[in-house]
């Protein structure tokens, strides 16, 4: 679970009550990250522990998140991800560990005027409702850490659903990071 918790911290796919939304396909590595995304960020997790997040380019439109707690700077975990812009939203995706299905997770993010990086999870209940209403295709799954849902729809169908303003409440703020001063 430690590695998965690192993924959640790094990309803010926090396992809220053990809930997870996964997708069969990753975001295509075809969009460059928005200006201001890369660099060093800091936050405090739900347990009050200060943590750092470093985002940098791996190659053509591929990126990496490196996370660590300030109290343990040598204990770092790194996770590759891609970004994509659809409509007015930015998204990122990363591979989910095999024990959680080995597929991909998608989250929303924004860069605010206050130099914050805000990350959004997809609400499990809302995605389950979309599947029940046939707006998306998918199936529920269980892990040792809780319930999840795998969305089987194509990414075109997923983004048509996510980009619809009527579905804006499907996003839940998961984390808020502040840009680190260059002296840190």
Residue 184 counted as domain residue = no
Instruction: Give the CA radius of gyration of the chain.
Output: 16
- Nearest CA-CA partner of 43 in 17, 81, 14, 2: 14
Which residues 6+ apart lie within 8 Å of 134 measured at CB? none
Buried b (16+ CB within 10 A) or exposed e, 127-148: bbebbeeebbebeeeebebeeb
Task: Give kind and range of the element (H or E) at residue 32.
Answer: none
pLDDT at 134: 96
One digit per residue, the tens of pLDDT, for the chain of length 184 reads 344 344 444 443 333 334 689 998 888 877 899 999 999 999 987 788 888 999 999 988 899 999 888 888 788 888 899 999 987 889 999 888 777 778 899 999 999 999 999 999 999 999 999 999 999 999 988 877 778 899 999 999 999 999 888 998 999 998 899 998 764 4
C-alpha–C-alpha distance, residues 128 and 138, integer Å = 8
Residue 122 counted as domain residue = yes
Residue 76 counted as domain residue = yes
pLDDT at 14: 37
Domain of residue 108: give its range: 2-179
Residue 97 counted as domain residue = yes
pLDDT at 118: 94
In contact, 149 and 140? CB cutoff 8 Å:
yes
Q: How many domains does the chain have?
A: 1
Strand-pairing partners, residue 73, are none
Task: Give kind and range of the element (H or E) at residue 118.
Answer: strand 116-122
pLDDT at 91: 92
């Amino acid at each position: 679970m430690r590695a998965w918790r690192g993924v959640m911290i790094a990309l803010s796919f926090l396992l809220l009550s053990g809930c997870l939304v996964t997708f069969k396909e990753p975001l295509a590595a075809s969009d460059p990250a928005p200006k201001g995304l890369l660099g060093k960020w800091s936050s405090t997790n739900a347990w009050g522990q200060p943590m750092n997040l470093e985002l940098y380019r791996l190659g053509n439109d591929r990126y990496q998140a490196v996370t660590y707690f300030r109290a343990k700077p040598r204990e770092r975990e790194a996770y590759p991800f891609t970004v994509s812009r659809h409509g007015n939203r930015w998204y990122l995706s990363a591979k989910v560990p095999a024990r959680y299905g080995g597929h991909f997770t998608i989250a929303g993010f924004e860069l605010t005027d206050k130099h914050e990086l805000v990350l959004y999870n997809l609400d499990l209940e809302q995605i389950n409702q979309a599947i029940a209403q046939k707006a998306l295709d998918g199936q529920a799954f269980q892990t040792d850490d809780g319930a999840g849902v795998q969305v089987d729809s194509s990414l075109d169908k997923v983004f048509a659903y996510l980009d619809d303003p009527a579905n804006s409440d499907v996003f839940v703020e998961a984390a808020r990071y502040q840009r680190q001063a260059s002296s840190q």
